[in-house]
Amino acid sequence: MAVFTTVSQDTLSAWLVDYQVGELLHFEGITSGIENTNYFVTTTRGQYVLTIFEKLAPAEVEYYLHFMAYVSLHHLPCPTPQMNREGQLQGRLYNKPATLVSRLTGQSILSPKEAECAKMGALLAQLHLVGQHYPMIH
Protein backbone atom coordinates (compact mmCIF):
# COMPACT_ATOMS: atom_id res chain seq x y z
CA MET A 1 0.00 0.00 0.00
CA ALA A 2 1.35 3.42 -0.92
CA VAL A 3 -1.01 5.71 0.94
CA PHE A 4 0.65 6.31 4.29
CA THR A 5 -0.71 9.83 4.76
CA THR A 6 -4.46 10.24 4.25
CA VAL A 7 -5.30 13.50 2.48
CA SER A 8 -8.68 15.17 2.87
CA GLN A 9 -10.44 16.88 -0.03
CA ASP A 10 -10.52 20.22 1.80
CA THR A 11 -6.81 20.08 2.62
CA LEU A 12 -5.85 19.13 -0.94
CA SER A 13 -8.10 21.82 -2.45
CA ALA A 14 -6.48 24.44 -0.21
CA TRP A 15 -2.96 23.18 -1.04
CA LEU A 16 -3.64 23.29 -4.79
CA VAL A 17 -4.44 27.01 -4.60
CA ASP A 18 -0.65 27.56 -4.55
CA TYR A 19 -0.37 25.88 -7.97
CA GLN A 20 -1.76 27.11 -11.27
CA VAL A 21 -3.55 23.85 -12.04
CA GLY A 22 -7.17 24.86 -11.62
CA GLU A 23 -9.68 23.48 -9.17
CA LEU A 24 -9.74 19.96 -7.76
CA LEU A 25 -12.25 17.66 -9.47
CA HIS A 26 -11.19 14.23 -8.19
CA PHE A 27 -8.37 12.45 -6.40
CA GLU A 28 -7.64 8.87 -5.42
CA GLY A 29 -4.83 7.07 -3.65
CA ILE A 30 -2.36 5.01 -5.66
CA THR A 31 -1.98 1.60 -4.06
CA SER A 32 1.33 0.60 -5.66
CA GLY A 33 4.63 1.80 -4.26
CA ILE A 34 6.58 1.24 -1.07
CA GLU A 35 7.84 4.50 0.44
CA ASN A 36 5.89 7.63 -0.51
CA THR A 37 2.22 8.53 -0.42
CA ASN A 38 0.88 9.06 -3.95
CA TYR A 39 -2.46 10.25 -5.28
CA PHE A 40 -3.83 10.67 -8.78
CA VAL A 41 -5.21 14.21 -8.94
CA THR A 42 -7.59 15.54 -11.60
CA THR A 43 -8.19 19.29 -11.81
CA THR A 44 -9.95 21.59 -14.24
CA ARG A 45 -6.60 21.96 -16.04
CA GLY A 46 -5.27 18.43 -16.21
CA GLN A 47 -4.13 15.24 -14.55
CA TYR A 48 -1.34 15.10 -12.01
CA VAL A 49 0.27 12.95 -9.35
CA LEU A 50 0.64 14.26 -5.82
CA THR A 51 3.57 12.76 -3.92
CA ILE A 52 4.10 13.20 -0.20
CA PHE A 53 7.65 12.20 0.68
CA GLU A 54 7.48 10.14 3.85
CA LYS A 55 11.22 9.67 4.48
CA LEU A 56 13.28 12.07 2.35
CA ALA A 57 14.50 15.40 3.70
CA PRO A 58 13.49 18.56 1.78
CA ALA A 59 17.03 18.97 0.36
CA GLU A 60 16.94 15.42 -1.04
CA VAL A 61 13.51 16.05 -2.53
CA GLU A 62 14.73 19.31 -4.12
CA TYR A 63 17.61 17.55 -5.90
CA TYR A 64 15.29 14.78 -7.10
CA LEU A 65 12.68 17.24 -8.44
CA HIS A 66 15.24 19.42 -10.24
CA PHE A 67 16.64 16.31 -11.91
CA MET A 68 13.13 15.29 -13.02
CA ALA A 69 12.56 18.78 -14.45
CA TYR A 70 15.91 18.61 -16.26
CA VAL A 71 15.11 15.20 -17.76
CA SER A 72 11.65 16.38 -18.80
CA LEU A 73 13.14 19.44 -20.53
CA HIS A 74 15.26 17.06 -22.59
CA HIS A 75 12.10 15.38 -23.92
CA LEU A 76 12.42 12.06 -22.14
CA PRO A 77 9.18 10.55 -20.81
CA CYS A 78 9.40 11.87 -17.26
CA PRO A 79 6.73 13.54 -15.13
CA THR A 80 7.21 17.30 -15.00
CA PRO A 81 7.25 18.83 -11.51
CA GLN A 82 4.85 21.76 -11.25
CA MET A 83 6.06 25.03 -9.73
CA ASN A 84 3.98 26.66 -7.05
CA ARG A 85 3.24 30.40 -7.06
CA GLU A 86 6.50 31.01 -5.17
CA GLY A 87 8.49 29.32 -7.95
CA GLN A 88 9.26 26.25 -5.85
CA LEU A 89 8.98 22.64 -7.01
CA GLN A 90 7.99 21.39 -3.58
CA GLY A 91 5.67 22.49 -0.85
CA ARG A 92 4.63 21.12 2.53
CA LEU A 93 1.58 18.98 3.15
CA TYR A 94 0.89 17.54 6.59
CA ASN A 95 4.31 18.90 7.59
CA LYS A 96 6.06 16.72 4.98
CA PRO A 97 7.71 17.62 1.66
CA ALA A 98 5.19 17.27 -1.17
CA THR A 99 5.09 17.88 -4.89
CA LEU A 100 2.72 17.82 -7.82
CA VAL A 101 3.93 16.37 -11.13
CA SER A 102 2.28 15.84 -14.50
CA ARG A 103 0.69 12.44 -14.93
CA LEU A 104 2.09 10.33 -17.73
CA THR A 105 -0.16 8.11 -19.81
CA GLY A 106 0.23 4.35 -19.76
CA GLN A 107 0.50 1.74 -17.08
CA SER A 108 3.06 -0.53 -15.45
CA ILE A 109 4.16 -3.51 -17.52
CA LEU A 110 4.56 -6.44 -15.15
CA SER A 111 5.74 -8.98 -17.75
CA PRO A 112 7.51 -7.06 -20.54
CA LYS A 113 8.10 -8.65 -23.91
CA GLU A 114 11.46 -8.48 -25.71
CA ALA A 115 10.51 -5.39 -27.74
CA GLU A 116 9.38 -3.57 -24.59
CA CYS A 117 12.65 -4.45 -22.85
CA ALA A 118 14.58 -3.09 -25.84
CA LYS A 119 12.61 0.15 -25.72
CA MET A 120 13.19 0.49 -21.97
CA GLY A 121 16.91 -0.15 -22.50
CA ALA A 122 17.09 2.54 -25.17
CA LEU A 123 15.30 5.01 -22.88
CA LEU A 124 17.63 4.13 -20.01
CA ALA A 125 20.62 4.80 -22.27
CA GLN A 126 19.16 8.20 -23.22
CA LEU A 127 18.58 8.97 -19.55
CA HIS A 128 22.23 8.20 -18.77
CA LEU A 129 23.42 10.41 -21.63
CA VAL A 130 21.22 13.32 -20.56
CA GLY A 131 22.15 12.81 -16.91
CA GLN A 132 25.87 13.16 -17.65
CA HIS A 133 25.32 16.85 -18.34
CA TYR A 134 23.07 17.56 -15.38
CA PRO A 135 24.39 20.54 -13.41
CA MET A 136 24.51 19.17 -9.86
CA ILE A 137 22.66 21.21 -7.24
CA HIS A 138 24.07 21.14 -3.71
Task: Decide: 30 and 68 in contact? Cβ < 8 Å.
Answer: no
pTM over 0.85: yes
Angle formed by the axes of helices 114-131 and 58-73, to 10°? 110
**pLDDT of 108:** 86
pLDDT tens-place string over residues 8-45: 999 999 999 999 999 999 999 999 888 999 999 999 99
For the domain made up of 9-131, the CATH class stated in words is alpha beta
Whether the predicted pLDDT of 2 surpasses 80: no
Q: Is the pLDDT of residue 63 over 80?
A: yes
Rg of the chain over Cα atoms, rounded to whole angstroms, equals: 16
Q: Is 90 exceeded by the pLDDT of residue 125?
A: yes
